[in-house]
Amino acid sequence: MERNRLAELLAGRDGVFALARAALGSGAALIGGDRPGSAESFRRTFRRRERHTHRTGQASAGFADAVADLEACPERELCLVFVDDRPAGGYWFSVFLTPDLSRVVACFGVGKP
């Protein structure tokens, strides 16, 4: 996934999507996203992580909404891209895309523990 393409897909959306786009524009690292994985596996994993993050009080942005978006997504596979803005004091963003990388399905950010 190219940085400019992801920024385009995040454009026009607010909240955590805008935060992830701003992080990309500030030079945050972009990691992964080329290989699709099981959407059901992502749902299970991130449902559990959202509960853990909430329970431990770790800072996050958009996590509950992202889990709901994943639950509602009909895709069997998704791609996952990470945007790491932690060196600048920001979040570790997880951005889920359709397998053809044409649409963002969900996005959330988690702060340093």
| Residue where the block lists tokens 């992964």 | 32
pLDDT at 58: 92
| Chain centre distance of CA 105 | 9
pLDDT, tens only, 53-86: 999 999 999 999 999 999 999 999 999 999 999 9
Mean pLDDT of the 12-33 span:
95
- What would the DSSP string read from start to end of 26-63? TT-EEEE-SS-EEHHHHHHHHHHHHHHHHHHT--EESH
Tell me the C-alpha distance between 86 and 105, whole Å: 23
The span from the CA of 43 to the CA of 73, in Å, is: 10
- What pLDDT is recorded for position 7? 97
Quick one: pLDDT at residue 33? 78
Q: Looking at the predicted structure, is the pLDDT value of residue 17 above 80?
A: yes
pTM for the structure as a whole: 0.94
